[in-house]
């Protein structure tokens, strides 16, 4: 049960990529995959974790 349901957790994700490698197909595919997963699962990434059952 949330103690402070009006509060939320903000998460930041950083992906560090060498500028010279950023346009390589395999690097671009990896970046696109990670961003796509986060966008497709926004609810999971933006919500607080559910409490463990008692």
Give yes or no for a contact between 52 and 46, defined as CB atoms under 8 angstroms apart: no
pLDDT surpasses 80 at 35: yes
pLDDT of residue 43: 77
Say what the pTM is: 0.58
Contacts of residue 11, Cβ cutoff 8 Å, sequence gap at least 6: 45, 46
Contacts of residue 28, Cβ cutoff 8 Å, sequence gap at least 6: 22
**22: exposed, middle or buried (Cβ count in 10 Å: 0-12, 13-18, 19+):** exposed
């Amino acid at each position: 049960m949330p103690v402070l349901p009006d509060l939320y957790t903000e998460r930041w994700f950083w992906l560090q990529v060498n500028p010279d490698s950023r346009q390589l197909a395999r690097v671009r595919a990896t970046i696109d995959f990670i961003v796509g997963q986060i966008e497709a699962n926004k609810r999971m990434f933006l919500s607080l974790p559910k409490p463990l059952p008692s």
